[in-house]
């Protein structure tokens, strides 16, 4: 399900057309304090100020000259930012990422990093800032091979990013079996949360026994596989209840794959302490 309230979808029709958008004067996220799930891949380079946020419900502070990579299907909650916060935001669609992989199958550098905030020194920051300015310039050109030019510049930026992360000892076997398992788990939840909320279903998807799968997820993240699934479902449910008021609770229940409204209400209240109607009406 697409998050129709997402600020990128609201603010830019260019994303669907080009597959990539560069916003080099980004100062504020419109939705603070509410978890959301983005279907996009983000790169954010912080020029000044700070941003406090949660990524998969873990708190982070994003400071001056920090770089972050935000992957699709993860839970993001922006909490607050300083008055002078300024960043460059680059957004990719999944289709554009697939195009990159096709063009550069042997050295595609934007692989999954479990830790996603990296501090750059002055020279590293300047290097990436120049790359991103070039990317912005190319994105504004009217050129018959613009997509190929964008992909080439992204590849340069990605290789430079990986070089800097290695230089700073930030990369620690990000292609390990555990990290790839977590990435595949996130993708599986995004694709199947309306179909199943059972740990066994996802373990079988990943060709693992439920017990072993559950142990790996808890050891790596500190949260059980069942909790991850529930967190994802609850973020979607809360979004629908608050931002799709034209939908009845029965319709939301159907959208999320529950057998009936009563089952949805029980699931929601057991995890939030509120009924869906109480949450929609803002009752405590």
Determine the pLDDT at residue 168.
87
Within 13 Å, how many C-alpha atoms sit on residue 184's CB side?
15
> Could you tell me if 93 and 50 are in contact, meaning their C-beta atoms sit under 8 angstroms apart?
no
Number of domains in the chain: 2
Using left for φ > 0, alpha for ψ between -120 and 50, and beta otherwise, residue 236 falls in: alpha
Q: Are residues 130 and 265 in the same domain?
A: no
Q: How far apart are CA 74 and CA 194, in angstroms?
A: 16
Q: Are residues 123 and 73 in the same domain?
A: yes
> Could you tell me if 165 and 171 are in contact, meaning their C-beta atoms sit under 8 angstroms apart?
yes
Last residue of a domain, one of 141, 167, 193: 167
Determine the pLDDT at residue 41.
87
Sign of the torsion angle spanned by Cα atoms 17, 20, 24, 30: positive
Q: Are residues 163 and 183 in the same domain?
A: no
Nearest to 234 by CA among 180, 188, 179, 189: 189
Determine the pLDDT at residue 38.
74
Residue 262: CB atoms within 10 A of its CB come to: 10
Determine the pLDDT at residue 15.
78
Q: How far apart are CA 87 and CA 103, in angstroms?
A: 28
Determine the pLDDT at residue 102.
86
Q: How far apart are CA 74 and CA 232, in angstroms?
A: 8
How would you write the pLDDT of the chain (284 residues) with one tens digit per residue? 344 344 454 445 567 778 899 999 999 887 788 777 777 888 999 999 999 998 877 789 999 999 998 887 777 888 999 999 999 999 988 889 888 888 887 665 555 555 678 999 999 999 999 999 999 999 988 888 999 999 999 989 988 988 898 888 876 544 567 877 887 898 899 889 999 999 999 999 999 999 999 999 999 888 899 999 998 899 889 888 987 889 999 999 999 999 999 999 999 999 999 999 999 988 55
DSSP code for 31? -
**What DSSP element (H or E) covers 196?**
none
> Could you tell me if 146 and 29 are in contact, meaning their C-beta atoms sit under 8 angstroms apart?
no
Determine the pLDDT at residue 205.
94
| Inter-axis angle of helices 122-139 and 146-167, nearest 10 | 170
Q: Is residue 2 part of a domain?
A: no
- For the whole model, what pTM was predicted? 0.73
Domain with 241, as residue range(s), is: 177-280
Last residue of a domain, one of 167, 195, 227: 167
Strands (E), 82-149: 86-92, 117-119
Q: Are residues 57 and 147 in the same domain?
A: yes
């Amino acid at each position: 399900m697409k998050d129709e309230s997402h600020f990128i979808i609201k603010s830019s029709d260019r994303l669907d057309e080009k597959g990539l958008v560069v916003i080099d004067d980004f100062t504020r996220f419109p939705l603070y304090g509410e978890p959301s799930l983005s279907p996009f891949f983000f790169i954010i380079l912080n020029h000044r100020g700070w941003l406090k946020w949660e990524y998969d419900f873990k708190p982070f502070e994003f400071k001056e000259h920090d770089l972050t990579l935000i992957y699709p299907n993860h839970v993001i909650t922006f909490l607050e930012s300083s008055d002078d916060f300024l960043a460059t935001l680059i957004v990719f669609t999944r289709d554009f990422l697939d195009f990159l992989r096709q063009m550069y199958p042997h050295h595609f550098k934007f692989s999954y990093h479990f830790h996603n905030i990296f501090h750059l020194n002055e020279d590293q920051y300047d290097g990436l800032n120049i790359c991103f300015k070039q990317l912005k310039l190319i994105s504004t050109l009217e050129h018959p091979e613009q997509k190929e030019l964008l992909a080439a510049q992204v590849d340069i930026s990605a290789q430079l990013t990986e070089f800097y992360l290695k230089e700073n000892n930030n990369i620690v076997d990000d292609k390990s079996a555990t990290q790839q398992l977590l990435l595949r788990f996130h993708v599986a939840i995004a694709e199947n949360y309306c179909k199943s909320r059972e740990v066994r279903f996802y373990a079988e998807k990943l060709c693992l026994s439920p017990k072993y799968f559950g142990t790996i997820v808890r050891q790596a993240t500190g949260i059980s596989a069942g909790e991850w699934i529930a967190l994802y479902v609850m973020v979607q449910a809360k979004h629908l209840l608050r931002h799709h008021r034209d939908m009845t609770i029965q319709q939301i229940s159907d959208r999320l794959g529950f057998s009936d409204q009563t089952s949805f209400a029980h699931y929601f209240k057991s995890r939030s302490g509120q009924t869906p109607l109480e949450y929609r009406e803002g009752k405590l």
